[in-house]
Amino acid sequence: MAETKASTINEFNKDTEIVMNKKAAYDSVYNRYIKRFIDVVITGITLCILWPFYLIISLAIYLEDGFPVFYRADRGGYKGRKFRICKFRLMVKTLTKLEAV
């Protein structure tokens, strides 16, 4: 039984070292600054390419159902922090409109 307990402690220590090494890796300069810069640049390029499509979708929603074009809601995020999600509104505004269809 003593050997089993010792092997369990050794396995725990190995797991703890792995977790500690992962935390140290996330604090590196690459992960804190360079990766963030790359993410922002790629997002900016993607938005520049897709904005005409977003404009067309917004116009279609406005013409079909009026304002608001976007749906906003609070969601739970990392470590329980709230963030606001914003997406195109694809639902009808009122139930009476749905019944008429």
Digitized pLDDT (tens) for each residue of the chain, 101 residues in all = 555 554 554 555 555 555 555 566 667 777 788 988 999 999 999 999 999 999 999 999 899 888 888 888 999 988 888 999 988 887 766 655 555 55
Tokens representing 87?
A: 């997406």
Cα(9)–Cα(15) distance, integer angstroms:
10
Structural domain count of the chain:
1
Domain range spanning residue 58?
2-100
Q: What is the pLDDT of residue 14?
A: 57
Q: What is the pLDDT of residue 67?
A: 84
Q: What is the pLDDT of residue 90?
A: 77
CB 72 within 8 A of CB 84: yes
CA angle 63, 55, 53 (to 5 degrees): 115
